[in-house]
Structure 1
Amino acid sequence: MQITKQADYALRAMLFLAQLPPNQRASTSQIADEQAIPPSFLAKIISQLSIAGLIHTSRGARGGVSLAVSPEKISVLDVVEAIDGPLALNECTLNPAICPSGPDCPLHSLWCDAQAELVSRLKKTTFASVVRSSEA
């Protein structure tokens, strides 16, 4: 399993915003430049993060992008799922009926357990904790 490039860019953009002082905004061009994200790609990402309620955007001379909630309340999972949708190590973890082996598949519980561990870890990891660990 690998997250999409779009999710990776979204995580880097959110980390950049989480490192800003409270109530400070950044321009999309600043985020794109400092995080090496193609500006056209970033525009789509910003739109998706805004729809998910993770960031605020405003236009104009004093406009820009800022977090909608504190970094303590935004998890890595929130961002990945805002961009890529629900996390799934295998399609059967979201829809067991899709498995050709049916309900007796010997791998189903392995995939579900591994996915639960990954989801738990990403959900517990907030942007505030990532910022703290990068400053240490």
Structure 2
Amino acid sequence: MRMSAGVEWGLHCCLTLAWLGDAEAVPTARLAAFFELPPAYLNKQLQALDRAGILTSTPGARGGFRLARAPERITLMDVVAAVDGPDDVFRCTEIRQRAGGASAAAPEFRRPCGIASAMRRAEMVWRRELAAQTLADLMADASAASAERTRRHFARTSR
């Protein structure tokens, strides 16, 4: 399974915004510079998080992004779904009904494909695990030094 780079970017930006608190909105350009990411592409990820209600944006010269809700209320699955979409990772196209299965009787295909069922079970475990982890959990697991270094950096580069 492969997630887009935007998921990693979104999670790191959310973690950074959580460490900074509600002091001020952080512009895309500052987040992009901090992580050495392309601002235009990062902004697309941040906008997706805004549309999903994970971030809130403030327009204008003093604008930027903040968390829209408490870190305890933002799951990793929320971020994955916002950035990569809510669609299932595995899509069964029923190729078993073509080629060798074309001559099989219709009742043979009434039951779901075993491969599709196995993949769905695995995906549900993955989704439940991501839904059980919050941004607050990431904050608790991160080193205090990382959080402090981030706060100092943004205090130094404040507008």
Quick check: TM above 0.5?
Answer: yes
**Structure 2 CA distance, aligned partners of 1:61 and 1:105?**
54
TM-score, scaled relative to structure 2: 0.73
Q: Structure 1, unaligned stretches of length 5 or more? A: 93-97
In structure 1, give the amino acid aligned to 2:122: A
Partner of 1:110: 118
Residue equivalent to 2:99: none
**Do residues 56 (structure 1) and 51 (structure 2) align?**
no
Secondary structure, counterpart of 2:3 in structure 1? coil
Deviation, 1:23, is 4.7
In structure 1, C-alpha distance between the alignment counterparts of 2:87 and 2:10, rounded to whole Å: 15
Deviates more, 1:23-32 or 1:34-43: 23-32
Task: Return the alpha-carbon distance in structure 1 between the equivalents of residues 47 and 21 of structure 2.
Answer: 22
- Quick check: 1:54–1:68 contact (8 Å CA) kept in 2? yes
Q: Which residue of 1 aligns with 2:136?
A: 128
**Identity between Structure 1 and Structure 2 (%):** 31
Deviation at 1:45, TM superposition (A): 1.4
User: Which SS does the other structure have where 1:18 is aligned?
Assistant: helix
- Residue identity in the other structure for 1:118: W
RMSD: 1.8
- In structure 1, how many angstroms separate the alpha carbons of the residues matched to 2:69 and 2:115? 39
Consecutive unaligned residues of structure 2, counting only runs of 5 or more, are 97-108, 145-159
Q: Aligned partners of 1:126 and 1:114: how far apart in 2?
A: 21
Q: Post-superposition shift, 1:100?
A: 2.2
C-alpha separation in 2, matches of 1:124 and 1:22:
24
Residue 91 of structure 1 aligns with an amino acid whose one-letter code is: R
Runs of 4+ in 1 over 4 A off after TM superposition: none
Q: 1:99 maps to what in 2?
A: 94
AA partner of residue 143 (structure 2): E
Larger Rg: 2
Q: How many residues align?
A: 131
**Deviation string for 1:38-77 (max 9, x for gaps)?**
1011121121111111111112343221000011101111
Residues 87 and 119 of structure 1 are in contact (CA less than 8 Å); yes or no, is this contact kept in structure 2?
no
